[in-house]
Amino acid sequence: MKSSPSLRNSARTVLSFFVITSLICGCSSSISPTYFKENIEKSIQDICRDEYKIDIKTKLVGRTLWIYLAVEDLFEKADKPEKYLEKFEITDNEAEFKDGSLQLKYLIKAIPEKEKLQQYKYNKGVFEKVNKVWRVIRRITFSMAHSGKTEPQFFCLVTADIKNGFETKETFYYLDLKKVSYEYISWNEYQHRTVNETNISPEIIGDKEGLHLDYKDITLDNFVAAQIQHRIKLKFEKPEVDKNADIDKEILKIAVYTIRTYGFRDFTTAELNNLLTQNRVILNRAAVWARPID
């Protein structure tokens, strides 16, 4: 079950902030690696427990490291709710690679502008705890052996409110974390590359171990599709475009940019299906790569 827009927006805003905060904290380097794939799960758990008194659960699946943090009262009412304009309604937004084709289905329409309030913010105590976990993740990933073949390339941090039954999940790519740390990409671009989700489920309540999660190895095609979907949501939810924007054109730009950002070529076609207008666009891989991204 998906969360309400106010919770999704709150999660995105604050998660982005504590990611940036944790990255700004001192960057150390060492000549030889301190951590290896074989001990990364235990290392993150031990440091969080011994240095910060925080209990987490970790699970390495293939080349994806999952980190599960159980908390209570993840969000709280904002003293001064943030105002924003709602200009679009997103009824459907799906992206997946299927049978060698990138398939996008969306139903997004412009609506009369309406002022909205973001009612919730992160609980300060939880915010500080999650920020410490991020510091540990960064510390270990930047001090581990990287052969480019077997070590984790995707990380998924799940912060679960086991009292109220909702959670935030943030998935990021190791090289993106490294690039933003050394200023090869901007903070804003990093936020767009990191896939944020907020979910509500009764299974979360009381789950200190993360047993309700579907732990799986995230592949590059999974991540590219999820990021395209994430970018579409960012583009139109708190709109980054004018209400008169050509929706098909904006979504195609997102797809092309994301594919080319990760050098992804393992597909034959890209298919866009506008469920509102019934407009359908199909491009082959060569056309996608030849298309300008501006």
DSSP code per residue over 82-93: EEEEEEEEEEEE
What is the C-alpha separation between 249 and 241, in angstroms, rounded?
11
Q: What pLDDT does 150 receive? A: 82
Judge whether residue 14 has pLDDT over 50. Answer: no
Domain that includes residue 234, residue range: 77-118+228-290
Residues 247 and 191 in one domain: no
Asked if residue 227 lies in contact with residue 193, where contact means CB atoms within 8 angstroms, the answer is yes
**What ranges in 76-146 are assigned the alpha helix state H?**
124-141
Determine the average pLDDT of the residues in 50-58.
97
Q: What angle do CA 43, 149, 42 make, to 5 degrees?
A: 10
For residue 128, report the phi and psi dihedrals to the nearest 5 degrees: -65, -40
E strands in the chain: 57-61, 64-71, 75-98, 101-122, 154-161, 166-173, 195-200, 269-274, 280-284
What is the percent of the chain where pLDDT is above 90?
73
Q: What pLDDT does 17 receive? A: 44
Asked if residue 84 lies in contact with residue 116, where contact means CB atoms within 8 angstroms, the answer is yes
For residue 14, report the phi and psi dihedrals to the nearest 5 degrees: -80, -35
Domain boundary among 214, 241, 268: 214
Q: What pLDDT does 97 receive? A: 97
Domain annotation covers residue 144: yes
Residues 101 and 158 in one domain: no
Judge whether residue 19 has pLDDT over 70. Answer: no
What is the C-alpha separation between 125 and 20, in angstroms, rounded?
18
Residues 159 and 70 in one domain: yes
Cα torsion 150, 154, 155, 161 to 10°: value is -130
What's the total number of domains in the chain? 2
Stated pTM of the model: 0.86
Token pair belonging to 185 = 């990409």
Domain boundary among 214, 237, 260: 214
Top-ranked range on mean pLDDT: pick from 39-43, 68-72, 145-149, 237-241: 68-72
Determine the average pLDDT of the residues in 227-236.
97
Q: What pLDDT does 147 receive? A: 72
Residues 39 and 162 in one domain: yes
22 or 130: which leads in pLDDT = 130
Quickly state the pLDDT bin for 142 (edges 50, 70, 90). Answer: confident
Token pair belonging to 55 = 């209990």
Residues 57 and 135 in one domain: yes
DSSP string over 257-269: HHHHHTT----SE
Residue 247's alpha-carbon distances to 41, 140, 180, 236, in angstroms, are: 43, 41, 29, 9
What is the C-alpha separation between 92 and 275, in angstroms, rounded?
8
Domain annotation covers residue 223: no
274 or 142: which leads in pLDDT = 274
State which H helix or E strand residue 23 sits in. helix 5-24
Q: What pLDDT does 33 receive? A: 67
Residues 152 and 282 in one domain: no
Q: What pLDDT does 151 receive? A: 87
Domain boundary among 170, 188, 214: 214
Residues 202 and 88 in one domain: no
Domain annotation covers residue 219: no
Domain annotation covers residue 222: no
Return the residue matching tokens 């999650």.
Answer: 130
Residues 129 and 249 in one domain: no
The answer to which of 14-23, 210-219, 238-247, 277-286 has the lowest mean pLDDT is: 14-23
Q: Return the sign of the alpha-carbon dihedral for residues 84, 87, 89, 92.
A: negative
Q: At what angle do helices 124-141 and 174-181 cross, to 10 degrees?
A: 100
Residues 58 and 88 in one domain: no
pLDDT tens per residue across span 164-206:
999 999 999 999 999 988 899 999 999 999 999 999 999 999 9
Domain annotation covers residue 56: yes
pLDDT tens per residue across span 244-290:
999 999 999 999 999 999 999 999 999 999 999 999 999 999 999 99
Domain annotation covers residue 221: no
Tell me which DSSP letter residue 219 carries.
P
Nearest to 119 by CA among 9, 234, 235: 9
- The count of residues in the chain is 294
